[in-house]
Amino acid sequence: MNIGFLAAYPIWSVTMIAIDILVIWALTVHGHEIADQRNGEGLT
């Protein structure tokens, strides 16, 4: 969706794509921590 607006709003689109990539990276790296907390294993 962000790529569709790239020509109209280039700075906003690039910013949103960068934020999307950052969120995907954070979920990939720290996703197991969230799963551990849901299972009660992360409580120390």
Q: What integer pLDDT is reported at residue 24 of this predicted model?
A: 94
Q: What integer pLDDT is reported at residue 43 of this predicted model?
A: 55
Does the predicted model carry a pTM greater than 0.85? no
Specify if 42 maps to a domain. no
Domain hosting residue 22, numbered range: 1-28
The total of structural domains in the chain comes to 1
Specify if 39 maps to a domain. no
Q: What integer pLDDT is reported at residue 1 of this predicted model?
A: 61
Specify if 36 maps to a domain. no
Q: What integer pLDDT is reported at residue 44 of this predicted model?
A: 54
Specify if 4 maps to a domain. yes
The residue written with tokens 């954070």 in the block is 26
| CA proximity to 15, closest of 25, 2, 27 | 2
- List pLDDT tens digits, range 1-44: 667 777 888 888 889 889 999 999 998 998 787 777 777 765 55
Specify if 44 maps to a domain. no
Q: What integer pLDDT is reported at residue 18 of this predicted model?
A: 94
Specify if 38 maps to a domain. no
The residue written with tokens 């700075």 in the block is 11
